[in-house]
Amino acid sequence: MPIAYTFLAAPGVHLVSYQGIVTNADFLEGYKAAARDPRYRPGMVEISDFRHAEAMDIEFSAMQELAAWVAGREDLVGTTLRCGVLLGNDVQVGLSRLYEAVAATQTAETIRRFRDLPTLLAWLPVDPVHTAEIDAALTALARSEEEPTASSGQP
């Protein structure tokens, strides 16, 4: 699956790894599956790791659909979402900026882009004591070829 995710309970982080070629359907279903996961908690900070994506074939309409879906979720009312994006190339900068612009019209979601994990964690903020755990979980997700409900994190 081109999008894999897990949750780490202790730092309260939702990790998402984009891998291979990511399509509209992968993008939409990946996030909806994570929201249905019993480990998900509204308002968890998110780290989206784009570094292993070969191509992101995600159209503007899919971004609009996801932002509208997030905006309509009752469990997120009054919650500001924070998402740090780990980038692998400059094309991904543009894609994340486009989603950020779309989301800003409909949701309370703050998105920032980073080239390294320690700087991202300082922004979220996540205690640096969790850096190795988060890095190991992102590495495991990137190597995963299982369905997105597979988890290497804490239950």
Domains identified in the chain and CATH numbers = 3-143 (3.30.750.24)
* pLDDT reported for residue 73: 87
| Tens digit of each residue's pLDDT (9 = 90 or more) over 40-51 | 998 899 999 999
36 band by pLDDT with thresholds 50, 70 and 90: very high
**pLDDT higher than threshold 50 for residue 155:** no
DSSP-derived pairing of the beta strands 13-23 and 3-8: antiparallel
Query: Which tops the pLDDT comparison, 148 or 62?
Result: 62
* pLDDT reported for residue 135: 96
150 band by pLDDT with thresholds 50, 70 and 90: very low
**Average pLDDT, stretch 51-72?**
94
**pLDDT higher than threshold 70 for residue 24:** yes
* pLDDT reported for residue 80: 83
* pLDDT reported for residue 145: 55
| Tens digit of each residue's pLDDT (9 = 90 or more) over 90-141 | 999 999 999 999 988 888 889 999 999 999 999 998 999 999 999 999 999 9
**Which structure tokens are listed for 136?**
């190991």
**Which structure tokens are listed for 63?**
């971004």
* pLDDT reported for residue 151: 41
Half-sphere exposure of residue 7: CA atoms within 13 angstroms, side-chain side: 18
* pLDDT reported for residue 146: 44
* pLDDT reported for residue 1: 76
Which residues are within 8 A (CB) of 36 and not within 5 positions of it... i.e. 6 or more apart?
Answer: none
Query: 72, 108 in Cβ contact below 8 A?
Result: no
- Residue recorded with tokens 């995963």: 144
